[in-house]
Structure 1
Amino acid sequence: MSLTAHIPSHRKPRQSASKTALRAGVAGGVLSTIAVAGAAGPAQAEPVTQTIEMPTITSGFSTTVAASAQATQQVALDLETQANEDAAAENAAKKAKKAKAEAVRKAEAKKKAEAAAKKKAEAAERASRTAERTTLSASPGSSSASGSSASPSSSPSYSSSNATGSAAAVVAFAKAQVGDAYVPGGTGPNSWDCSGLVQAAFRSVNIDLPRVSQSQSTAGTQVSLSNLQPGDILYWGSAGSAYHVAIYIGGGQFVGAQNSNTGTVQRSLDYDRPTGAVRVL
């Protein structure tokens, strides 16, 4: 290569002054044209602004809304309460109806049971009277007179003399209670147990006896069953530990509150032979 050969330069060539001036003139002309066009064009309209006045929520309106909501809630609660009360009332009515039906059923059952017990007691009473009449009729020396109650010749004789004084009053009191009910612990005036009847009979003549049969069986002088007098106290069991008492009324008869089936009855001594007797009068 020749030492004088041209080496290309990497630098950009400088533009000539004429080109630069031309470019500047063109740019200035364009800008001038834009400026003139902007000045000559119509004026830009200002935006229209309209103010809308919104209603103001006052404190009174807020209170009204709150009250309305509260009233609505209260109505809902009232309706719920009423529904609960109606349901409870309906349930209570059903239970009451069921309880009434059950009570009626029990009352009818009790009535039937009482009627059956009464019928059974009456049948036992008739059977007992029939047996007594048969025994007395078959006994030697029995009397045919109505209401008589003669004892067999082998039995001890009983005093049939009319009672007088306090004894008569005790006998009258006892006989007046025949037909009353027997109730354990009963002391009258319409229901008795055995010792309650005896105590009340003697109280009618101002004599106070112990309340129970055990004590009443030793309240007086022990007497033989063959030497009884109206007003004597009969007892069953041993003296001091008797389990039943009654009042001898004469003619071989006694009055006593026997049991819940028979109540207070008048019976022959042969119906249920006592163990012993005491005399208080």
Structure 2
Amino acid sequence: MSPNALIPSHRKPRRSASSRALRAGVTGGFLTLAVTGASVPANAMERPVSETQEMPTITTALATSATKSADAAQQVAFDYERQALQDNALAEAAKVAEKHKAEAVKKAKAEAAAKKKAAEARRAKEASQARASRSAVRTSLSAGTGNAATLVSFLKAQLGKAYVLGATGSSSYDCSGLTQAAFKQIGIDLPRVSQDQSTQGTQVGLGNLQVGDLLYWGSAGSAYHVAVYVGDGKFIGAQNPSTGIVERPLSYDMPTGAVRVL
């Protein structure tokens, strides 16, 4: 026996042929395990030299990123929907505003037209009152004295008498026969027919009449009817066979013109 046979060896035991080496690595978010053997049993010859197992792992960062992406997508969708609602609301508000504006413009125009019409009516009324006032003043100044008073007094005395074509008094007259007889009372000789009477004296405007002015209908020189202005917006004349001699307001039959012969 060798003297060293019983002395235990101090050398490190050799690794077994079946020992394994473990290598681990992380690639692309997967954990990879590789197991290799120094020797392969006979019954495992068809198996690959290395075996790899991949297991998906979701890190906290990936989960947070996915959550944020979902939230962002949801927020974008919400923003689009909110914007669409706002656009629709603005469009409706614009339509309503335009309608109200059109109604306001229409109302303003109607009110302006009404005010204008009222102002015109007021001015017309004031002008009419002014004319009536001037006429009353002239009547008061002239009707009570002199030739105008005599003329009016004669004409009023003929009221109710008959109209007869060609008559010159004293129980009936035609229009020019009455005016001729009336002016004769104050020493003024008028032509016999209305056409000639309408060119006597001085032409005056209907807005500036005085008591005793001779009124005519038709044009000067070819008038077909005459009467006498007696003040207060009235005239006396032999109108027609139906009415006889009457007193009427100027509005009853507005004359065409007037001449002043006094």
TM-score by length of 1: 0.45
More strand by share: 2
TM-score by length of 2: 0.49
